[in-house]
Chain A
């Protein structure tokens, strides 16, 4: 057996060293846990994305009303509607139309909007940055509020700050988004006119104006989420502090509560928090529809409301596809950051 160690057992590698090296590099890559996770998740994503577009198409087509009559209004004659239907291929069977859309979509062509005639990808390119910025801003607000709040609350469970944060977060969880939006407008735009209540300034035009216009919408999305994450993180931190052995070790080393919380418990709790943020993204994208409508932001959510009203199937499909892909991708990135945060996962004993 020792001879096989001395002389390489791999004849290909001996003859063609380059090929052998390439192969071993490949095998190292394919055995890397994070790559395996990426591959597995991307494979699962394909049927999920397909299911999302198929469901949307079916639902849009099963409902009464169609794009032709929605676009022409109530005064259109039967003949006009028929003509437009034929022009937009609406009189073909659902599955035929879905197949046409799908076969174009996998080649990267998302079609043109039935209502405006613009290409769906150019509409998405115009509208996505607004929504993306809104979501990013909201998540920043969420983390800036919830991380310190949860740590402070977990420092003294049952203490004044803990109880206060629980009351505030219960209120935040129980308030409707649109009510919060109206209250924020009433308080910060009407009574104390500090921030604009509606409208949008592009980032390239004025950075300050851009952030100003986004603050109220981002607060509307961020505050309830922050409340949710505060409760979640606090509960998890308390659980860690109560039952984990490594806390006992840290305590035995003579570390103080504060240091154990921020350096040891938080690191473990944040893994769970990240999962929840990833899982919540679909809901969060749903909120942008509400918030963009109230604050009249020209984002993708507002476009979606119009597109649904128009039964504009290609546009709705494009937006839904982007939403679903974002959810899948973010969950994938979340899974990968586990490895960065938790060495147990990084070194292959992966629970996922």
Chain B
């Protein structure tokens, strides 16, 4: 059944060491050192700890129903480290609970994308033929689409809430994961060990779950990490335009939207949540980059 590979199995692969170096300076490669993973990793862990565990350990002010008497307190006020906003809610507390929303949405969207898109992509890449072409044409449609149109339509139609934002953003993540995992599967399918598994009589599902999935997974995980920064940005964008987390629920996006009207008077209302959004996304992107360099997976 399986056709023997047309190319010789043992071929000398040209590596960079064998290639002629025209320029000494182009020998330089970024060190795939551990620093590039640890620093952003620790920042992400610290943010996760602050958003999910700190409110359980330490009593922080409520993110909603603040007293209007305490509105517009500056940064460093007693009891309100980052001050309060125009309706008297504690900014630090809204940041922490808003960050919780961001991380939840990112994790859910990427998990759904990884499982659903990953399986679709692996299936398409492995079976090939008409079924693959069919799946790929559907993905073509989703990719030729400005996805924001679908997301806005879905979120607007279902109503603004965290769960609906997650459904909407899966429109972005599922096709993206499917493409990545299909490409990776296509490369794997040609490899000798997959062929050997087929020749030794393993069933297709066994080959997929025992041989293909473990090899595609590292690439999908770095892709999920890299993409989670984008998901956090998209969630904030939706909330900013009033399609995401409805007020008074805390979210970085709707905090920025609230502050935008008073930006010239109180820039901190915009700058503080923006800074948290920025640091989070930088840390996630750097962590994804670092892991990719370390595991040697391609884009």
**Does B101 make an interface contact (CB < 8 A)?**
no
A282 and B147 form a contact (CB under 8 A): yes
Rounded to whole Å, the gap between the CB of B85 and the closest CB of chain A is 16
Binding site for B on A (CB under 8 A): 44, 47-48, 51-52, 55-56, 59-60, 62-65, 156-158, 170-171, 173-179, 182-183, 185-186, 190, 238, 241-243, 245, 247-248, 250-251, 257, 282-283, 285-286, 289-290, 293, 304-305, 308-309, 316, 319-320, 323-324, 327-328
Given known contacts A64-B158, A170-B282, A170-B285, A257 and B23 CB-to-CB distance under 8 angstroms: yes
B23 and A182 form a contact (CB under 8 A): no
Tally of A-B residue pairs with Cβ under 8 A? 152
The CA of A282 and the CA of B171, in the complex, are separated in Å by 14
For B156, the chain A residues whose CB sits under 8 A away are: 63, 308-309
Specify the main secondary structure of chain A where it touches its partner.
Answer: helix
For B289, the chain A residues whose CB sits under 8 A away are: 170
Given known contacts A59-B153, A282-B146, A243 and B264 CB-to-CB distance under 8 angstroms: no
Give residues of chain B (5-61) contacting chain A, Cβ–Cβ below 8 Å.
16, 19-23, 25-28, 30
B282 and A286 form a contact (CB under 8 A): no
Question: Could you say which of B140, B149, B158, B285 contacts A63, with CB atoms under 8 Å apart?
Answer: B158
Question: Could you say which of B30, B142, B146, B282 contacts A323, with CB atoms under 8 Å apart?
Answer: B146
Given known contacts A52-B144, A174-B285, A178-B240, A320 and B256 CB-to-CB distance under 8 angstroms: no
For B229, the chain A residues whose CB sits under 8 A away are: 174
A174 and B237 form a contact (CB under 8 A): no
Instruction: Known pairs A60-B153, A304-B152; list 7 more (Cβ under 8 Å).
Output: A51-B137, A56-B150, A59-B153, A173-B285, A174-B281, A176-B236, A309-B156
Give residues of chain B (274-299) contacting chain A, Cβ–Cβ below 8 Å.
274, 277-278, 281-282, 285-286, 289
Give residues of chain B (64-104) contacting chain A, Cβ–Cβ below 8 Å.
none
Rounded to whole Å, the gap between the CB of A24 and the closest CB of chain B is 35
**Does B233 make an interface contact (CB < 8 A)?**
yes
For A190, the chain B residues whose CB sits under 8 A away are: 263-264
